[in-house]
Amino acid sequence: MTYVGQSASAAQQGTGERATVKDVAAAYVGLTKPRVIELLLLTTVPVMFYAARGVPDLGLVVATVLGGTFSAGSASVFNCVYDRDIDEQMRRTRRRALPRHIVSARAALVFGFVLAIASTVILYVWVNPLSALLSVLANAFYVFGYTMLLKRRTTQNIVWGGIAGCFPALIGWTAVTGSLSWTPVVLFLVVFFWTPPHTWALALRYREDYANVDVPMLPVVKPAHEVGKQIVVYSWVMVATSLLLWPVADTSLFYPVAASVLGAVFLVEAHRMWRRTRGTEDLSVIQPMRLFHTSNLYLSLLFVAVAIDPLLAR
């Protein structure tokens, strides 16, 4: 079995092994970054529950999830194509499809465009034009704003580049209501302020990788203690923003209680990591992945609370 978009000999020179059909299929799936998609959908579907003040139409959920999956997947594919030079040099990414030469850049680009077109058609036809437009804007911002413009130029790359990951909250709301309001904007901002602590914790773990490829992530250009301080600041703003949903959206008491408990757990872990950075750059002491995994759990449970709240109110 030859590599997609390459000759067998070129493929063998790239990795020394032949790709099976299973390898190629897994490579295409991997290009879409499924774990990122899972997180994005987790901020879409619960918002649909809240917008519907109960259980939304199943067909609408399926169409929104499918369109959102294809849209996020296409953005990730374009990111992989553009970053294939640095992905090949980083421990965290060197096993991706393009660095391993299982899929060619041309084939990946075609795949990305197919996903982008399919997502736009699905959202436009079976959801609504506003949701389709927001999806296109999110995709474009991630590819052109973050990947091509910000990532390799500024330490604030993921602060502003992370805006693309906030759009699912808006898309989930507009899918049900056909319009925007302050409720999804608050949730948009929660994800916005969540992104730096989440990403900087991961970047701390892989800062040598980023340094080796000249990507100026904050942990590359600032000492760990300063990174920890920034994480704490963003964490406090994130938790405060999450509590704004109570008065803005007139939730039941369940949501602010859940948001307060989850926020307290997150803040404790953020402060603990900051304390561990005092006087050391040793990652085995700092343990940034503890905060990274806590951030995933926090966002997941917070949006589950968003979905549950209207069900309890009924």
> Does 230 have pLDDT greater than 90?
yes
> Does 235 have pLDDT greater than 90?
yes
Backbone φ and ψ for 289, nearest 5 degrees, come out as -70, -20
pLDDT confidence of residue 17: 58
CA 212 and chain centroid, separation: 23
User: At residue 220, what is the residue type?
Assistant: V
What would the two tokens of residue 87 be? 């992905």
Summarize pLDDT for 94-125 with one digit per residue, the tens: 889 999 999 999 999 999 999 999 999 999 99
Alpha carbons within 13 angstroms on the beta-carbon side of residue 144 total 6
* Residue position matching structure tokens 């990730």: 76
> Does 34 have pLDDT greater than 70?
yes
DSSP class of 146: I
pLDDT confidence of residue 64: 97
> Does 13 have pLDDT greater than 90?
no
pLDDT confidence of residue 280: 94
Which residues make Cβ contacts (< 8 Å) with residue 120, sequence separation at least 6? 67, 71, 132, 135, 136
Per-residue DSSP letters for 91-117?
A: TTTTTSTTTTTSB-HHHHHHHHHHHHH
For the chain, give the percent of residues with pLDDT over 70. 94
Which helix or strand (DSSP H or E) is residue 23 part of? Answer: helix 21-31
Q: How many residues does the chain have?
A: 314
DSSP class of 20: P
Q: Distance (Å, rounded) from C-alpha 244 to C-alpha 221?
A: 33
Strand partners, 180: none
What would the two tokens of residue 86 be? 């640095």
Summarize pLDDT for 151-163 with one digit per residue, the tens: 999 999 999 999 9
Domains and CATH numbers, the chain: 21-176 (1.10.357.140), 181-314 (1.20.120)
> Does 6 have pLDDT greater than 70?
no
Backbone φ and ψ for 4, nearest 5 degrees, come out as -65, 125
Give the least confident one: 61-65, 160-164, 235-239. Answer: 160-164
CA 196 and chain centroid, separation: 11
Mean pLDDT of 64-69: 97
Mean pLDDT, the chain, integer: 93
DSSP class of 4: B
Does the model's pTM come out above 0.85? yes
pLDDT confidence of residue 124: 98
Q: Distance (Å, rounded) from C-alpha 55 to C-alpha 205?
A: 40
pLDDT confidence of residue 197: 98
* Per-residue pLDDT band at 14 (split at 50, 70, 90): very low
* Residue position matching structure tokens 């374009």: 78
